[in-house]
């Protein structure tokens, strides 16, 4: 258990990929702050985590609001005395043609998927640099490096996240901070209106697949950097 007694913040942790990462990290001995919008769902995850003997807090936070992000980070620092790992997972998708998507919808997708990771990174980075260690994992998408029809806002947000991740990695690598990105393909979650048990999702990735990748990335020795992991469902060719 290379992650035992580390402390992590996971955004978008109420269900799907975020929930799976929380459960996987807890099994590895990590104390957690779960960040999301649905308190009841996060409390269910937290109950499971506590059942594994780990500390777990819940913060109802809008990741696009700087003051709320700062308060969530401070909650983790007060409870754990540190933040070893930040997982920027919170994300939304609105899939419409460029003609049909509204400016408000466009701005909302970019705010959650791109500004959110920026704000949480800002909130934890100084403390990580002071300690000379830390891990930031950004959950992107396979469409962070390619495009799809009706995906203008989502692709733009994930392309932006890829650029942000690359710049961040260059700025903090020599300061002892590891930065990595995980790019899942189609994943069977509730994202974008999908139902995990729909026949349409048969053969897609499962949230646990992404969680395993996050554990692997965070568990690399201090001499090794895993800076990107790409996950494709076996049913689809790219």
The 10s digit of each residue's pLDDT in 191-225 is: 755 555 666 777 899 999 999 999 999 999 989 99
Contact status, residue 3 vs residue 27, Cβ threshold 8 Å: no
Q: Let me know if 154 is a catalytic residue.
A: yes
- Entry pTM: 0.95
Q: What is the pLDDT of residue 211?
A: 98
Q: At residue 237, does pLDDT exceed 70?
A: no
Instruction: Yes or no: say if 119 and 69 are a contact pair by the CB < 8 Å rule.
Output: yes
Count of H-run helices and E-run strands, the chain:
7, 7
Residue 197: per-residue pLDDT: 64
**What CA–CA distance (Å, rounded) separates 142 from 1?**
29
What is the rounded CA–CA span in Å between residue 41 and residue 34? 10
Site of tokens 């701005």: 107
How much is the pLDDT for 209?
A: 97
pLDDT digits over 132-178, tens only? Answer: 999 999 999 999 999 999 999 999 999 999 999 999 999 999 999 99
Which of 31-40, 64-73, 81-90, 194-203 has the least mean pLDDT?
A: 194-203
pLDDT computed for residue 203 by the predictor = 82
Domain 7-231 belongs to what architecture? Answer: 3-Layer(aba) Sandwich (3.40)
Distances (CA, A) of 132 to 118, 162, 181, 216, 222: 20, 24, 20, 21, 12
Q: Among 25, 106, 118, 154, which one carries the catalytic annotation?
A: 154
């Amino acid at each position: 258990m290379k992650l035992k007694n580390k402390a992590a913040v996971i955004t978008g942790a109420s269900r799907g990929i975020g929930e799976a990462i929380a459960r996987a990290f807890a099994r590895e001995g990590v104390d957690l702050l779960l960040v999301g919008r649905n308190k009841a769902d996060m409390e269910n995850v937290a109950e499971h985590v506590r059942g594994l003997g780990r500390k777990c807090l819940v913060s109802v936070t809008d990741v696009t609001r700087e003051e709320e992000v700062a308060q969530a980070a401070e909650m983790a620092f007060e409870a754990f005395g540190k933040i070893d790992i930040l997982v920027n997972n919170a994300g939304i998708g609105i899939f419409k043609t460029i003609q049909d998507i509204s400016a408000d919808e466009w701005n909302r997708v970019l705010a959650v998927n791109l500004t959110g990771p920026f704000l949480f990174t800002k909130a934890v980075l100084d403390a990580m640099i002071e300690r000379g260690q830390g891990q930031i994992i950004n959950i992107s998408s396979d469409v962070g490096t390619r495009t799809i029809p009706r995906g203008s806002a989502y692709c733009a947000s994930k392309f932006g996240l890829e650029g942000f991740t690359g710049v961040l990695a260059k700025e903090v690598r020599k300061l002892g901070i590891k930065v990595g990105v995980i790019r899942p393909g189609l994943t069977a979650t509730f994202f974008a209106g999908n139902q995990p048990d729909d026949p349409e999702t048969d053969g897609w990735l499962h949230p646990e697949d992404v969680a395993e990748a996050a554990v692997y990335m965070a568990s690399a020795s201090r001499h090794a950097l895993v800076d990107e992991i790409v996950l494709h469902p076996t049913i689809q060719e790219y």
